[in-house]
Amino acid sequence: MEQKRVLTLTDPVANKTLALPVMTGTEGPAVVPIGNLYRELGYFTFDPGFLSTASCRSAVTFIDGEQGVLLYRGYPIEQLAQHSTFLEVAYLLMYGELPSARQRDDFTHTIDCHTMINESLKRFYDGFYHDAHPMAIMVGVVGSLSAFYHDSTDIHDPHHREVAAHRMIAKMPTIAAACYKHSVGEPVVYPKNDLGYAANLLHMMFSVPSEEYVVDPVAERALDLIFMLHADHEQNASTSTVRLAGSSGANPFACIASGIAALWGPAHGGANEAALKMLEEIGDVKNVPKYIARAKDKDDPFRLMGFGHRVYKNYDPRAKVIRAACHEVLAKLGDPDDPLFELAMALEEAALKDEYFIERKLYPNVDFYSGLIYKALGIPTNMFTVMFAIARTAGWVAQWMEMIAEPQQRIGRPRQLYVGPPRRDYPVTD
Ligand code: ACO
């Protein structure tokens, strides 16, 4: 019989001991539940940035950052990238198993039924100036969805939760494409449900009413691949934001809007946009040593964007897949001799040989190469993080549904180490 592991914490001053039973999951490090610590010993734990804190129990995604492993519901990302599609992955994340052929068709049909957005919602876009960042528009538009879909905001009703999840996955491409159309001053294009998920997005972004538009299958497959790679990544900043917002009972549309806001930052989903801008700024292979030196200089805020990861201390498995896809996409759609691709490879090579990056285990992450693919597909830089948000919606809704269904679900309420002034009296002057 397996021996139960217990950690013992002793406070010699109070002369108290607390036995903490160790919990093990299916993979990854064991965890020590410390929920009783305050009640028993009067301490909080202190872990800004959650370096050693598991915030929840989850069966959706597993990452082994040391080995460079990423599993969705147990399936390795490399295998999914080779054999699956984004919608199948979305189903897998939401329901826990790969769909049968019938379930896949039904799910696709359900998503297709929800691709349109309310006509009134379209007017929302007009309130934004034409040069508004598409992420700013997206946060606003997604947040407003709860005002349109009252029939799917009762979080205590499993059917409402499921319908809200379907709506989010289905409407994100339509909302994203409308953000783009608004920025270029073209009419919004309606979804065409005989197209696949990624193809529909390309159609809504790049077709115009006056001309026939045929989606390139290489572009469709590349976008679908990127979406699969970005679909979930366990308890990252945006997913944790969705969970925290959701823990208060907020409606799912508001929760996803909060996730989009958290994703926007350059340390998270904004890195794809920042990485491409960085490559453009570096400009030439001959400038690589200068920028490597800047990234290492602690007095310079410059960092190599698309490099490093909180969890991966090895090559990001998604980056490996995307790097290979990049060759293929550029050969077929873009410029195979794209100087930015050549530059990206030179920068990666130089960093991977550099002691600073080796010591800190800094490797390219998924966003080092994704921008080059987006660029080859004709997607403008300010839409890169929007693309990420579309894909991550599958993970956000799966994680949100898991959280709500958890029997012991409680509001998330971190504690703090207060370092402000102690109690003092208001200075009363007569
Ligand atoms: N360039 C240069 N140095 C770096 C980089 C980088 N990209 N990333 C980390 N470092 C250095 C830090 O300066 C630090 O050095 P020190 O130990 O001498 O102080 C050390 O490596 C550890 O870095 P932290 O910032 O402590 O690591 P953390 O886990 O907090 O941050 C993060 C991870 C935010 C991803 C960071 O590596 C970074 O800013 N990367 C660039 C932005 C990026 O690509 N983000 C995308 C993440 S993936 C995603 O969300 C899809």
Ligand 1 neighbourhood includes 306 CB (under 6 angstroms): yes
By most ligand atoms within 8 Å of CB, the mutation choice from 307, 315, 387 for ligand 1 is: 307
Cα(342) to ligand 1 centroid in Å equals 23
By most ligand atoms within 8 Å of CB, the mutation choice from 303, 352, 366, 396 for ligand 1 is: 303
What is the four-CA torsion angle of 219, 256, 238, 223, rounded to 10 degrees? 0
Which tokens sit at 93?
Answer: 């994340």
**Collapsed DSSP state (helix, strand, coil) of residue 77:** helix
Total Cβ atoms within 10 A of residue 413: 8
Which tokens sit at 425?
Answer: 């009296």
Which tokens sit at 43?
Answer: 């301490």
Strand order in the sheet with 61-64: 61-64, 69-72, 75-76
Q: Which ligand 1 atom minimizes the distance to the CA of 367?
A: 51
Q: In the prediction, which pLDDT does 341 show?
A: 85
pLDDT, tens digit, for every residue of 94-153?
A: 999 999 999 999 999 999 999 999 999 988 999 999 899 999 999 999 999 999 998 888
Q: Which ligand 1 atom minimizes the distance to the CA of 303?
A: 1
Cα(362) to ligand 1 centroid in Å equals 8
Cα(49) to ligand 1 centroid in Å equals 13
- Radius of gyration of the chain, Cα coordinates, nearest whole angstrom: 23
Residue 114 annotated in active site: no
Crossing angle (nearest 10°) for helices 158-184 and 197-206: 30
CA distances from 212 to 72, 176, 307, 331, 379 (A): 38, 21, 40, 25, 19
Q: In the prediction, which pLDDT does 340 show?
A: 87
- Among protein residues, the one with the nearest Cα to ligand 1's atom 20 is 360
**Collapsed DSSP state (helix, strand, coil) of residue 20:** strand
> Where do we find the tokens 């989903």?
269
As a whole number of angstroms, the distance between CA 69 and CA 87 comes to 22
Q: What is the DSSP string of 102-136?
A: HHHHHHHHHHHHT----HHHHHHGGGS-TTS-HHH
- Among protein residues, the one with the nearest Cα to ligand 1's atom 24 is 310
Ligand 1 neighbourhood includes 137 CB (under 6 angstroms): no
Q: How would you classify the pairing of strands 61-64 and 69-72?
A: antiparallel
Residue 367 annotated in active site: yes
Cα(359) to ligand 1 centroid in Å equals 13
**Collapsed DSSP state (helix, strand, coil) of residue 19:** strand
Q: How would you classify the pairing of strands 61-64 and 16-21?
A: unpaired
Q: What is the DSSP letter of 313?
A: S
Which tokens sit at 58?
Answer: 């989850």
Q: Give the residue ranges of the chain where pLDDT is below 70.
A: 1-3, 336
As a whole number of angstroms, the distance between CA 117 and CA 27 comes to 40
Helix (H) / strand (E) containing 163 = helix 158-184
Ligand 1 neighbourhood includes 362 CB (under 6 angstroms): yes
As a whole number of angstroms, the distance between CA 66 and CA 123 comes to 48
Answer positive or negative: Cα dihedral of 107, 108, 111, 112: negative
Ligand 1 neighbourhood includes 332 CB (under 6 angstroms): no
Q: In the prediction, which pLDDT does 230 show?
A: 97
By most ligand atoms within 8 Å of CB, the mutation choice from 66, 310, 370 for ligand 1 is: 310
- Among protein residues, the one with the nearest Cα to ligand 1's atom 19 is 298
**Collapsed DSSP state (helix, strand, coil) of residue 287:** helix
Q: In the prediction, which pLDDT does 2 show?
A: 56
Ligand 1 neighbourhood includes 238 CB (under 6 angstroms): no
Answer positive or negative: Cα dihedral of 380, 384, 385, 389: positive
Ligand 1 neighbourhood includes 267 CB (under 6 angstroms): yes
Q: Specify the amino acid at residue 430.
A: D
Which tokens sit at 391?
Answer: 């894909």
Closest of 106, 37, 257, 97 to residue 168, by C-alpha? 257
Closest of 278, 257, 258 to residue 266, by C-alpha? 278
Closest of 215, 166, 162, 170 to residue 197, by C-alpha? 170
Q: Which ligand 1 atom minimizes the distance to the CA of 236?
A: 50
